[in-house]
Structure 1
């Protein structure tokens, strides 16, 4: 495009437009600086710039110099940025001052806008095996892993995307993924390789589902990616029938909702670890269906195998990925590379994801969660996504997520507009569709689901569920007798909450046999009766338990002699 249509728009950002010719010139300047620093194939250049045409030009300039790029988000802590630059063994850093000076260390710093170095650059020829980019992903050990992606890997993704979603010259695509998230490469490179127009969303817009929907409509975007936490409410929101959007792509977290019928776009669920160059499976999500949406079929050039514990193919098992998009490995970590990128005896080179899947009858793939993050509550194996799906189907709920806290299920809920549900309301609705052990014991109200810089749900930002628990009821029944008052005090102390009434079900509040034993022991001490755990299982509420305690007190008094009663009265 820079050659045959240099004036065609490449990038739209706020009120500015950058043509393909201008993008070429900016990238050329960056490549000149890197050439002067002896960048070459195998070199890695860190790019730490805000979402902008300069940022994309810098990435392109790295390639023209023969180097790979490492995308970094300037919003990350400086200490983390400096550590990642060092761990990736970068040969240069492209960033603005003063941040660039704080994180560069011994690495040479290039700032956008620096004068051209006055050297002629001929873009370096690249082979499919050369590195295109290095990107960090979270590690189970707590140490980030640097994934090496080749130009061949990226080219396979671009070819599939362009064909699957009919991306061509002037196709309008959004760019809103986190700058250090591999989905950004999925937004940028298929669009620019096709001669399309890339529209950059600002940070305020990209973090709010309603604002993002309105922006996509106003900008006449045709193809857009949104992380799951944003895509879910957008898919369930009304859109104008004449919206230009024809493809809404999502991924990053487990999808639990289906789109409203009649949406103007196809809603596409995608799955793929960073190690398989963004996407490995993809599928249209139908508006009808009660099951959690699948993750679709393997994309062109990608193979999916489900392996059992012995490494044999099965209908259910660990998801293993083969094909053109499987990355080179982990930079600087040959041991981990050998453990996860394996040469299977019959299936060839595979990446072992650690995710679990199952083949469905229609040939699509169901995602079953992480093999190393199975949740057990009261002896039952739980899939939190099933609870989230049930919550998100409720009229009162816009979005939700479910976690465990001290062995208890906790639901974080964003109420739908105009709705003010109580925990009791939500619990009652869930008990109609879920077994008791899958109903959260606590509910916490949120204005929005917290997202990290990659657009994924940020569980570390969730408020404490004990201190911020949603009210159980509005005007729940208060104790009416001294017995109820004392028992309610005991129960509240044991389950660490103060917002319940005497008619609340102890076990639906998160109580279980171990906590129940504490309640029984304290009640025995308080009332001097032989209360048992059976009484609590049978009665379940403070109200009923108080009736049992009072009955046991009367039975005890009836069995006592007059002398025993006089002795007790004298104490």
Structure 2
């Protein structure tokens, strides 16, 4: 029709058509503007219809008008025909809220009985209707649509046209809609094609003015797209066509579209030239897990974040003797600019952490371990500092291979065979020759409630730090081919990074031993006890004073208590009893938050931390908002592969004013985070000792609320032949702080949860706080220049 439209609009003869009905392919309504400009919207009447063969062709209809040209929806598909029903559902068959994308399901009279002689496919596509009468069915269309806030249903595209780029799930139709809205574009299409470093987006454009110079047009279109879309949604390549290739039936022939050729790739990729450029590019490739990096590539746009930045900086310092501050990376995020910033930054290569003799049976504790030892002596039966992981394993489990894998793991990491002893006034760690956990499966007697009870019992059981072991393994036999594996460590020998490493190496070992082989793991350069000694020597050599000067200047002498409104008075002693509330963040909101971070030159972590501090200000009325933020503290290459207690906690302070704009608060939080990163080595325990807050057993010192952001990098579980391994959910029943916000970036989606002290808060109170936070986030992405006191909570 688009080709006919351009011919008809150029023809001076009158038009005798009464109706034009669209179907078969998605209609871009905005592309009809030339038709409406000439003929109006009354005669002929244009009607958009949506349907599929399995529902007797037509499902919906929408008469189109001039008003549709001004709507946000690019392909509105209207209302269902009277004898049909339709639903927009998520992956769990729940209706999606307004503003979210879901899959279209169609029900009632128009449905076919199924596919002839294809019972398997019929069962897959025709499913029981969870909303209808007994025996009613729904057809799963495979089409994606969005229920817009104005009530319009907009067609988005096929679910098989949904792709992943750099780990982000992307709707190609959304990018096409943005392209088609540009004045310089007459028609556009976007596909995902295989590129040198994985899937990449290729945009096909028929320009409004075919005479325009293509290089300039390409740059202009990309610039306009970057104003509205995150970088990962901007096509890597834009190819210009005079017309679409069509099939014999007159439909678009996607297979006939040209691929992005080598010359197009070369225009975008600028190879590193100098020796230093090539060395830094190799480090980026290793840290970011990409095949190649060009001079114009941006660290953060390639998937970099603060944790990966820290690893990258430590590798540059260790391998090349060059020093890059995190602030410099934000200001010089492209490879070319980063290398230029490094030219005059020579520093002495850091000496490797020495591996000490094992002649002495007792070793000093690290600062973090020292605090944990003190806390355990105060509360030896508390599970607040237990680090658990639970896995659901489906398939025939090889128990001897699993036992061998645990034995090898404990032998590889001294921290897994360490106990603690007090001699006079000083605590020491004792490394044992062997301390293998015994794996004896328990048999399930019941259903899911018994599984949850087993997980809770494994996590809650106290550890004896003096006698060990400090790794506990629980295995529950659910069925002959299904088990639940629960791993629990005490924080004094582990942290979140360590648990991910433990699971990864356990699975690698199992894969080898189940095949009669030994796992091939690189030898560890040091052990945790070596790090503990080095850390004390390094701090005593002057580093403590340098870093402490920064923190005492920022946090000052007075340490305020964050006074959130609670449901009950604070008890005189923390019980560490807690609960956890999962928060459902719409995918569209997550994308908008990432776009905001990119526009403001910050990270998603910074945006979410600023939003949380704004919420805490609104709840408490206090201007001095201090939040604890854990950091991995693995900024030495030797520590990245170790199991041990490395994680450190920083106190990030924000001065919040209700008249302040959120964008200004974000700039403040960004600066605070960058400065804190440069002073991340001071152990939290040393900071507490220096600031000497009033000791009170009713709350934690220096901060009472924690924010923890994790990215997908360490979340994926390795695959095993013959086994399917998934995370086993459980209900947390402990809380170290008054309130903890956890956010997780995984597979392009954003998840969140609140853990709260049940001594202080009711579940309904925390649910309301979570809803207020979501409303605040929606207000922030709508207008980040709103004043803090005016951001919506309700």
TM-score by length of 1: 0.45
- The structure whose RCO (Cα within 8 Å, separation 6+) is larger is 2
TM-score by length of 2: 0.34
